[in-house]
A and B are shown apart, each in its own frame.
Chain A
Amino acid sequence: MTISHTPRRDEYEIELVPFTEQPVERSLPLATRLWQQGWLRKTLILIALALVWELVAHLQNNDLLLPSFSQTAQALFNGLASGELLVKAGVSLKVLLQGYAIGIVLAFALTTLAVSTQFGRDLLSTFTAMLNPLPAIALLPLALLWFGLGQSSLIFVLVHSVLWPLALSTYAGFLGVSETQRMAGRNYGLKGPRFVALILVPAALPSILSGLKVSWAFAWRTLIAAELVFGASSGQGGLGWYIYQNRNELYTDNVFAGLTVVIVIGLLVENLVFNGLERITVKRWGMQR
């Protein structure tokens, strides 16, 4: 280690004065800032879709098969103005929320059991392996037999469609909580349900939220399909029934209006409820980008 290499260049020092030549921060141009607005980009996508729809409908020129966007908008407006669509949507949403809520409660009970005991783990894995692949709609005939023609059978299939996917993703989220966070929680004397509520649930919130999203979509899908299959329950039909009825009477524009309401509710829930929840929780906490 006796290699010596004398540098060829002189040493130097610079006295630094405060940096004032130009601002340290600059704002982005207006167009870039606008393009960063998610709602604006999504609205543009929707407008493009509507234009394509209008164009294709005009080329097709058959109202029975494919009503144009403007006709659908008209039918939608009429349905909303007369209140019929709103009532149908209300009926569907009421059943949906009941099934969704029961499903969430059961999923949390099952996963809490699964993280605390070996038996609960076996129970959860066996049940989800058996029942998760079973389409909810396939249970409908059985549900009708057990609970009769009414909301109870709808709620039964809804719970089935919510429970398993939500339980699976919640459990996966619990398993993914880092050992350090678990130890930190235990270090402060947290145990049992308080440990689950104060450490595991918030730490697993990204998975839980994605489970809630998936199961919301499953539930919505199942409900519309169930209403299409067995129609009105106790004289009160939901959106699925509205679609089915109008198809029978060949009011295709009303069918499209009904579908539009299904889609709009889906978009609203996704963008307002779930994105809002994500924004004030996991995104704010830096757990999700």
Chain B
Amino acid sequence: MNALNPHPGLSSATPASLAPPALLEVDRVSLEYRTRERIVRATHEVSFEVDPGDRFILLGPSGCGKSTLLKAVAGFLKPEDGEMRLAGQTIEGPGADRIVVFQEFDQLLPWKTVKQNVMFPLPASGSLGKSEAAERAELYLEKVGLAAFMNAYPHTLSGGMKARVAIARALAMQPKILLMDEPFAALDALTRRKMQEELLELWQEIRFTLLFVTHSIEEALVVGNRILLLSPHPGRVRAEINSDAFDLHSSGSIAFQNAAQRIHRLLFNEQAPDAIQDFSFQDIRLSY
């Protein structure tokens, strides 16, 4: 079917009953957060399923609760309603089977060198001995092209290099699912493109499962194979779109542009260009 399908045997022709169970099941999850004066509903009854090897994107404008949703999957906050299961197990709290790559550069511990940063969680979570941890850290740092910087401290690295270290650290943990919260948003455009390319190369090599939050339609189409569109205030599922046909080299193509425009329409509730405009923009906003 296509080159990026992680399971060549599992094409769309496979009957749903024979499909293996999803790795991550998010079942009608409502999330709320508290400020001093009010309780804000961030997402309302959001459901989706992520299969092993998926590069699943949560896409939406700011305020759609996509980052909150990711934090809930990571276990940092509890859903008000609904349930999240990872490999059949209900998610109760933070754990080393779901590693988060954050957007912020200070996710690396400044008091540890690059290698120590990658190594540190390995013995800390009790999975490996020290020498094995060192070996694995070196392996993954080589994979992200930072073998020469193992003994550097994070503050001496550029933004892109810090992002690479964070990815190496997450991959070295070999989590069941890798969670990325707008990991490249703080990078400049050229570095971001390079990082997207490298992330896809890493995925080709390791075939990890990825849950990726972004607010960029282009990034979603390039990085993901499936995209969940969320509407804002509160976040609700608007659509799910397959984007496995696109990669970094298809961003100029007509199909890519059409997909981007379709997503744009869905997110901002605009009419398709050929549709008859019988009610105005404001009416649609009121119909929320």
B109 contacts A184, CB within 8 Å?
yes
Q: Does A190 contact B (CB under 8 A)?
A: yes
- Residues of B93-114 at the interface with A, using a CB-CB cut-off of 8 Å, are 94-96, 98-100, 102, 104, 106-107, 109-111
- Nearest CB of B to A166, in Å: 20
- CB-CB under 8 A from B156, the residues of chain A are 286
Contact A205 B111 (CB under 8 A): yes
On chain B, the residues within 8 Å of A188 by CB distance are 96, 99, 120-121, 124-125, 173
Contacts of A180 in B (CB 8 A): 102, 104, 106-107
Which residues in chain A, 199-233, are within 8 Å of chain B measured between CB atoms? 199, 202-203, 205
* Residues of chain A in range 16-33 having any CB-CB distance to chain B below 8 Å: none
Q: Could you say which of A178, A194, A285 contacts B155, with CB atoms under 8 Å apart? A: A285
- Secondary structure class of chain A's binding surface, majority of residues: helix
Are the C-beta atoms of B111 and A281 separated by less than 8 Å? yes
Contacting residues, chain A, for B195 (C-beta < 8 A): none
Question: For A198, what are the chain B residues with a Cβ–Cβ distance below 8 Å?
Answer: 120, 124
**In the complex, per-residue mask of B228-240: 1 if CB is within 8 Å of any chain A CB, else 0:** 0000000000000
A34 at the interface (CB under 8 A from B): no
Interface string of A235-258 (1 = CB under 8 A from B): 000000000000000000000000
Residues of chain B with a CB closer than 8 A to A189's CB: 94-96, 121, 124-126
If A180-B102, A184-B102 touch, does A286 touch B124 (CB 8 Å cutoff)? no
Which residues of the partner chain B approach A187 to less than 8 Å between Cβ atoms? Answer: 74, 94-96, 98-100, 121
The 8 Å CB contact of A286, one of B71, B96, B107, B154, is B154
Q: Are B76 and A183 in contact (CB under 8 A)?
A: yes
Which chain B residues have a beta carbon within 8 Å of chain A's beta carbons?
71, 74, 76, 94-96, 98-100, 102, 104, 106-107, 109-111, 120-121, 124-126, 153-156, 173
> Is A284 an interface residue when CB atoms closer than 8 A count as contact?
yes
Q: What are 17 sample pairs from A and B whose C-beta atoms fall under 8 A apart? A: A181-B107, A184-B102, A184-B109, A187-B94, A187-B100, A188-B96, A188-B120, A188-B121, A189-B94, A189-B96, A190-B124, A203-B109, A281-B111, A285-B155, A286-B153, A286-B155, A287-B110
Give the CA-CA distance A184 to B111 in the complex, in Å.
14
Of A181, A183, A281, the residue contacting B109 (CB under 8 A) is: A181
B98 proximity list for chain A (CB < 8 A) = 187
Task: Give the CA-CA distance A181 to B120 in the complex, in Å.
Answer: 13
Is A186's beta carbon under 8 Å from chain B? Answer: yes
Residues of B within 8 A of A287 (CB): 110-111, 155
Contact B94 A285 (CB under 8 A): no
Q: Is the CB of A186 within 8 A of B94?
A: yes
Which A residues touch B121, using CB under 8 A? 187-189
Interface string of A266-289 (1 = CB under 8 A from B): 000000000000000100111100
**Bound CA span A189–B121, Å:** 8
Residues of A within 8 A of B102 (CB): 180, 183-184
Residue ID in chain B nearest A180 by CB atoms: B104
Which chain B residues lie closer than 8 Å to A190 at the CB level? 124
Smallest Cβ-Cβ distance to A177: which chain B residue: B106
- B111 and A285: CB pair below 8 A? yes
Interface flags for A117-159 (1: CB within 8 Å of B; 0: not) read 0000000000000000000000000000000000000000000
Q: Which of A180, A187, A198 has the most CB of B within 10 A?
A: A187
Residues of B with C-beta under 8 A to A181: 106-107, 109
Given A181-B106, A188-B125, A189-B94, 7 new contacts (CB under 8 A)? A178-B104, A181-B107, A188-B99, A189-B95, A194-B124, A198-B120, A286-B155
Give A166-190 interface residues, CB cut-off 8 Å to B: 178, 180-181, 183-184, 186-190
B153 touches A284 (CB 8 A): yes
Q: Write the nearest CB–CB distance from A24 to chain B, whole angstroms.
A: 19
Most A C-beta atoms less than 10 A away, residue of B104, B110, B153, B154:
B110
A184 to B153, alpha carbons, bound, how many Å? Answer: 17
Q: What are the residues of chain A within 8 A of B71 when measuring CB–CB?
A: 183
Contact with B along A52-89 (1 / 0, CB 8 A): 00000000000000000000000000000000000000
Nearest residue in B to A188 (C-beta to C-beta)? B121
Chain A CB within 10 Å, residue with most, of B102, B104, B110, B111: B111
Separation of A184 and B109 alpha carbons in the complex (Å):
9
Inter-chain contacts of A178 with B (CB < 8 A): 104, 106
Q: Whole-angstrom distance between the alpha carbons of A187 and B156 in the complex?
A: 25
Q: How far is the CA of A286 from the CA of B109 in the complex (A)?
A: 11
Instruction: With CB as the reference atom, state the residue of chain B lying closest to A194.
Output: B124
B167 CB, nearest partner CB in chain A, Å: 13
Q: In chain A, what residue has the closest Cβ to B103?
A: A180
Query: From A284, which residue of chain B is reached at the shortest CB distance?
Result: B153
Q: CA–CA, A178 to B154, complex, Å?
A: 16
Chain B nearest CB from A143 CB (Å) reads: 39
